[in-house]
Structure 1
Amino acid sequence: MIADKIKMLRNANNMTQSELARKLNITRSSVNAWEMGISIPSTTFIVELAQLFRVSTDYLLDLPTHNSIDISTLNETEISIVYSLIRYFHQSSGNQK
């Protein structure tokens, strides 16, 4: 739930509700309402929270995420190695089930 994520991230960053509210230019009671699940932040605040806490909006919204890596700077040999490693790990995890 987004309420739990906001509270956890705020606490992990040693921030009070008042400090978070100040950074977002809102009231402390708004932050409290988010954390209590009484209200949810608008899209704008979800983006601001993600940027502030250096997490994705998908994380805040508890959406499934997919890991990815940028291989655009790799040469063909390096790309081949990366794909070989991925196949290896997929096969290894399939054998453990």
Structure 2
Amino acid sequence: MVDFGNTLKTLRLREDMTQAQLAQKLGLTKSVISAYETGLRLPSYDVLIHVSKIFKVSTDYLLGVESQHDLDLSGISDDEVAALKNLIKAMRNRH
């Protein structure tokens, strides 16, 4: 949970969301969001799950257990998905 605050802030800023906006979505106060981001407070399980749904990431990602990102491939054809997978594979083989 050490990285939760930094991860939350990064996700929030990536979405151009203020602490107040996130607090409203979660039914919390801005000061609670600030406390999460500074590591003074940790979220309940319910809040953690709600945050994961808002930012479309896993709770494991929020907790720093996994670093893998899921990509939303909706609206992309099977051929385009295959091309993306091949590109990723080629990039991995480069290293």
Specify the TM-score bucket, using the shorter chain as the normaliser.
0.5 to 0.7
User: One-letter code of the match for 1:44?
Assistant: D
Partner of 2:11: 9
User: Offset of 1:64 from its aligned partner?
Assistant: 3.4
- TM-score using structure 1 length: 0.66
Q: List structure 1 segments (4+ residues) > 6 angstroms apart after TM superposition.
A: none
Shift of 1:65: 6.5
Aligned-residue CA RMSD in angstroms? 2.3
Aligned partner of 1:49 in structure 2 is 51
Q: Return the letter of the residue paired with 2:15.
A: N
- Residue correspondence of structure 1 range 1-97 to structure 2 within 5 A: 1-64=3-66
Distance 2:20 2:62 in 1: 20
Partners of 2:66 and 2:56 lie apart in 1 by: 17
TM-score in terms of structure 2 length: 0.67
Gaps of 5+ in 2: 69-88
Unmatched 5+ stretches in structure 1: 67-88
The aligned amino acid for 1:57 is T
Residue 35 of structure 2 aligns to a residue in which SS? helix
Instruction: Output the CA distance in 1 between the equivalents of 2:29 and 2:55.
Output: 18
Count matched residues: 72
